[in-house]
């Protein structure tokens, strides 16, 4: 790990130990509250928060649009030229609600085996 990532991991650990970050309490929070809590930590952005929502809290309606693989797969499937922005990707999958997390998983699998 880089020194910067070590700094972020240490900050996360300290926040948990000092009870400034309540991981169990996040289970009761709505997605926007969890995102605000996580992104308040140094080194953790929207992508980190959305991945935590999907995989740790098992939220079913999350689309981490900052993920390049998801945007790339979506662009291929939609036969779109150029790179999609996170905003464009979110708009394209809005109708997947309330199952955007499931759609994200399919897009990641597609990315791993997508034809060139």
Tens digit of pLDDT for each residue in 8-59? 999 999 999 999 999 999 999 999 999 999 999 999 999 999 999 999 999 9
| Residue 34 to residues 21, 44, 108, Cα–Cα distance (Å) | 10, 12, 23
Tens digit of pLDDT for each residue in 75-112? 999 999 889 999 999 999 999 999 999 999 999 999 99
Tens digit of pLDDT for each residue in 10-24? 999 999 999 999 999
Task: Please determine, for residue 74, whether its predicted confidence score (pLDDT) is greater than 70.
Answer: yes
- Separation of alpha carbons 107 and 110, rounded Å: 5
Q: Cβ(57)–Cβ(26) under 8 Å?
A: yes
């Amino acid at each position: 790990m880089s020194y910067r990532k070590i700094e972020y991991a240490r900050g996360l650990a300290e926040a948990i130990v000092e009870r400034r970050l309540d991981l169990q309490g996040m289970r009761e929070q709505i997605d926007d509250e969890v995102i605000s809590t996580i992104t308040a930590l140094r080194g953790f952005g929207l992508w980190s928060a959305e991945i935590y929502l999907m995989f740790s809290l098992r939220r079913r309606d999350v689309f981490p649009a900052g993920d390049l693989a998801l945007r790339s797969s979506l662009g291929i499937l939609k036969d779109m030229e150029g790179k999609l922005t996170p905003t464009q990707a979110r708009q394209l999958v809005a109708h997947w609600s309330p199952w955007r997390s499931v759609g994200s998983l399919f897009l990641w699998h597609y990315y791993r085996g997508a034809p060139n």
